[in-house]
Amino acid sequence: MQRKLASLSVNGRARYDAWCAGFEALREAFRSTFIGFNETYSNALYQVHSAKFDTLPFEKYESLLRRAPASRTWLISATVSLEAHSERFVFPFHTISASFLKAVRASKQTKPLPATDVTLGVSRWVNGIYQFLRGEPVRLREIGYINGKWLFLLSENGIETIKVLSLSDVVNMFLRDAIAAFLQHLIWPWREFVRGGVDAKAVL
């Protein structure tokens, strides 16, 4: 029995290490994309910035696998800003959602998932607190790195589906949507935020 428990612990740590490596790659994809955007569109009125948080500890990862609560699970933040105006997002880890599992079951391009896993959500700053996305222009809802494969839960026209995309594609999609959300949030007309013929919908 002790040997079996030791084997389970080793397997759990190996799974965690692979999971961490995947999400470190995702974090780097966000960071490099934001830097590239700011350099390419330095004449735009707005900028995109991110903040890096600590890697999720193994103990919190195990807690989320058991569907127990865990605090301070952010991986990265994303902020689109113009002077005093900003649109803020954070990406917290949580136990895989029922929506994600349902979308996977309905998908023909993915295999069945483990009974539980740890995925990354998307939250937006609304009325003084971060809230998980609902009907915003941002389509990305949840990110899973499971068995070495990226799965993304997207919401389009009220329908949630699982997509298999590259990290580059999904980060660029999020950035386009986040800029659109930022521009819609402001009072000034859309054209006031376009300088030098750069359309925020088509910058990427």
- 86 has which bridge partners? 81
Q: pLDDT tens for residues 48-103?
A: 999 989 899 999 999 999 999 999 999 999 999 887 788 899 999 999 999 999 99
The pLDDT score that the predictor gives to residue 56 is: 95
C-alpha span between 79 and 58 (Å, rounded): 28
Q: According to the model, what pLDDT value does residue 166 have?
A: 93
Domain ranges of the chain: 2-202
Helices (H), 41-166: 58-65, 98-106
Does residue 193 carry a pLDDT above 60? no
Question: What local confidence, expressed as pLDDT, does residue 186 receive?
Answer: 65
d(CA 134, CA 139): 9
- For residue range 99-130, list pLDDT tens digits in order: 999 998 888 766 777 778 999 999 998 878 88
Q: Assess contact for 199 and 183: CB atoms under 8 A.
A: no
Element (H, E) at 121: strand 118-121
pLDDT the model gives residue 3: 45
Residue 43 has pLDDT above 60, yes or no: yes
Asked whether 138 and 177 are in contact (CB, 8 A), the reply is yes
Average pLDDT, the chain: 83
Q: Which of 103-107, 175-179, 183-187, 189-193 has the lowest mean pLDDT?
A: 189-193
How confident is the model at residue 9, as a pLDDT? Answer: 53
Give yes or no for residue 200 having a pLDDT over 90.
no
Mean pLDDT of 1-14: 53
